[in-house]
Amino acid sequence: MAYKVVIDAGHGGTDPGAVYKGRQEKDDNLRLALAVGRILSQNGVDVVYTRTTDVYQTPFEKARIANQTGADWFISFHRNSSPQPNQYSGVESLVYDLSGRKVDMAENINGALGELGFKNLGVRARPGLVVLRRTQMPAVLVEVGFINNDADNALFDEKFDEIAQSIAYAILGTLEEEEVEKPPAGEPVLYRVQVGMFREKQYADNLLYELQDQGFPAYILSEDGFYKVQVGAYQYLANAVRMEQTLRRAGYSTWITT
């Protein structure tokens, strides 16, 4: 199935969002949205942007743009802010309510960013936000670190490419998880739990050894220019789900693929 995903860069134009030491949230949001969208497009996702330049849109306009596309998902990028500088740090994702596939998407994105060094603040329900309430498809708003936290900003800048890749792969992994729920008729399916995907084999090896040291039946699958660290190969989806739950309890961000 070909998916269509709306990528939204929060704020823009006359609305800078949060500002800290001359840094404007709208700029970070747009840079990240374009980077994530580019990776998704390269992996076969039909990407629609609410904005690609520094323009102002009301939240209602953003929701209207998304609804007109008939997209499957809406992902909005923001940076958080706190009353005092360096008061809080970490990533969190906001959803309309704590039910459905949007929660899985949010948890997968948070988990991927947590692996890069961000504190994972979890998933919260925010039904009052227009872009979550008015969109007709599952929607997730991701707060990628606090813009008035120096450590979060350093991580955002130093690992920007990895952040974009991790978010994109978390989105792709969630979409793959949807696919395995409805396998093609007549085709044998083996369900695998994926724990990581890397361009550099060294990083894949490190995760592989870590998993094997804990007794997980992990291995590396080289495919499409990536090294995918996976655990198990199960004929029944329920067995893969149980392994995924075990891995998540051990602190890993996972998704099921075939």
Burial environment of residue 103 by CB neighbours within 10 A (0 to 12, 13 to 18, 19 or more): middle
Catalytic residues: 143
Q: Specify the amino acid at residue 20.
A: Y
Question: CA-to-CA distance for 197 and 253, rounded, in angstroms?
Answer: 11
Q: Specify the amino acid at residue 201.
A: K
CA angle 117, 122, 123 (to 5 degrees): 135
Compute the half-sphere exposure of residue 186: CA atoms within 13 Å on the CB side of its CA: 0
Question: By C-alpha distance, which of 173, 171, 175, 199 is closest to 36?
Answer: 171
CA 190 vs CA 104, 123, 217: distances in Å: 21, 30, 15
Positive or negative CA dihedral for 225, 228, 232, 238? negative
* Beta pairing, strands 139-146 & 91-95: antiparallel
- What values do phi and psi take at 68, rounded to 5? -70, -20
List CB contacts of 38: < 8 A, sequence separation 6 or more: 164
- Residue pair 49/16 in contact by the 8 Å Cβ criterion: no
